[in-house]
Structure 1
Amino acid sequence: MDRKKAKQNTPSIKEKVYFHIRNKIIKSDILGGEFIEEEEVTDELGVSRTPVREAFSRLEAERFIDLIPRKGARVRQITGQEIIDIYETRRLIEIHAAKRICKEKIDVPLAMYTYHEAMIVDTHDIDFYEHIINDSGFHGAMVDAIGNPVISDVYKSIQERKMRVAYTALSIRPDRLSVVTEQHQKIIAALANHDTDEVAALLERHLLPVEGVISRLPK
């Protein structure tokens, strides 16, 4: 890899700060309702206040935190209603994409197979974060396959919140790991067979809020 390309692939300081805080929130290392101290982040990462403030602004826009005047950055609590809303949005987009793949006989993206294989492996050595990264890639590849950049952009706009919801759901119901991979296998098969009704039914079940999770979250 040449130096120019390597430099392009190296995250900037503000990106490193953003991902550091975001991943802590996703993994529940920082819980909903807790405050993130700007000074604590600067000391931990050895950076100035500017990239921390930029990260806070981005995280607020993505609804990870609320910036409260004179108090600081408070992590937003995931609610049962938010989970319901995220899954409803996913069903609208993903079922539409799957139906188009079937009707237009679009090949199943190779990335879906790759992410699925990775998820089968990680069920033996559970890492929730890696699992949701692969899960997001699996579903994102299906949406991108229809070649509609507007739909892809809308789908990506909920990506970060979707990851946090998924991590929360798995933390409460880790037994869902094997269920998810089994359902993914059936979704791939239905797409490969261009079975519109079957893939729509599979996604309808796959993208329902996880039983027992919503009742354990704030309303």
Structure 2
Amino acid sequence: MSKTYSAAEQVYRTVKEQILTGVLPGGELISEGEVAGQLGLSRTPVREAFLRLEAEGWMRLYPKRGALIVPVADGEAAHVVEARQLLEVHAAATVAGNAAVCEALVPTLRDNLERQRRIHAGGDLAEFSAADAEFHRLIVEAAGNPLLLDFYDALRDRQRRMTARSIARNPAQVEAIIADHAALADLVEAGDPAGFGHKVGEHMRVVHGLTGGRA
């Protein structure tokens, strides 16, 4: 039983990561047999993993046909961006009101920025989308509200998938994303939540192809 559970967990994590990074794009149909063959496992743990992914909304299962990777829904990007902006601007305002927290956060953001630059130089877009998500999370975490952080983390998988899709569509924008992150770090350091709110909203709308972004 424990081996089956371990194998099912392995399949779940592997396939979910492929969905979040765009290796398995929305609209693609995959089968239990394909995944079992790729991972060298039986179909039983694959079936368990697929059921879990369906329950979380990442897949839609069709008996005898396979599993459809659920595409990003119409309007989902706008809803995620709206929720993220509310949380991140609130966090930036909270951080701005606490000099010690701000002083501790800024070097962490700069370290993340250096990591983004290294990843970009190496060309790993999937890893970059994870570093991008972590940059924004650091700001929310620094605000010190665990309930808001839990809510933000609930958006994280959608955020990563959206970013990976946007970067795959236009890899050249990675440099602009890094430049925006550097500007956001500067605004955090300056204690300017209003400027941060304007910049982060513009940043997310441009990255995800929403209207009202950078002119």
Alpha-carbon contact 2:89-2:193 (below 8 Å) kept: no
Alpha-carbon contact 1:90-1:207 (below 8 Å) kept: no
Amino acid corresponding to residue 124 of structure 1 in structure 2: A
Deviation at 1:71, TM superposition (A): 4.3
Tell me, yes or no, if structure 1 residue 196 matches structure 2 residue 193: yes
CA distance in 1, matches of 2:146, 2:83: 17
Deviation at 1:13, TM superposition (A): 3.2
Tell me the matched-pair count: 203
Deviation at 1:209, TM superposition (A): 4.6
Normalised by the size of structure 1, how large is the TM-score?
0.82
Q: Pick the aligned partner of 2:174 from 172, 177, 180.
A: 177
CA distance in 2, matches of 1:155, 1:50: 33
Alpha-carbon contact 2:95-2:142 (below 8 Å) kept: yes
CA distance in 2, matches of 1:46, 1:53: 14
CA distance in 2, matches of 1:136, 1:85: 16
Higher relative contact order (CA 8 A, sep 6+): 1
Tell me how large the CA RMSD over aligned residues is. Answer: 2.3
Normalised by the size of structure 2, how large is the TM-score?
0.83
C-alpha change, 1:169 and 1:51, in structure 2 (3 Å) is same
C-alpha change, 1:125 and 1:82, in structure 2 (3 Å) is same
Amino acid corresponding to residue 197 of structure 1 in structure 2: A
C-alpha change, 1:191 and 1:214, in structure 2 (3 Å) is closer
Q: Pick the aligned partner of 2:37 from 37, 43, 59.
A: 43
Question: Which runs of no fewer than 5 residues in structure 2 stay unpaired?
Answer: 1-5
Partner of 1:4: none
Q: Pick the aligned partner of 1:66 from 46, 60, 63.
A: 60
- SS of the residue corresponding to residue 118 of structure 2 reads helix
CA distance in 2, matches of 1:214, 1:36: 30
Amino acid corresponding to residue 148 of structure 2 in structure 1: I
- SS of the residue corresponding to residue 29 of structure 1 reads coil
Q: Write 1 or 2 for the structure with the bigger share of helix.
A: 2
Deviation at 1:29, TM superposition (A): 3.0
Q: Pick the aligned partner of 1:125 from 116, 122, 125.
A: 122
Amino acid corresponding to residue 127 of structure 1 in structure 2: D
Deviates more, 1:185-194 or 1:16-25: 16-25
CA distance in 1, matches of 2:172, 2:89: 25
Tell me, yes or no, if structure 1 residue 138 matches structure 2 residue 135: yes
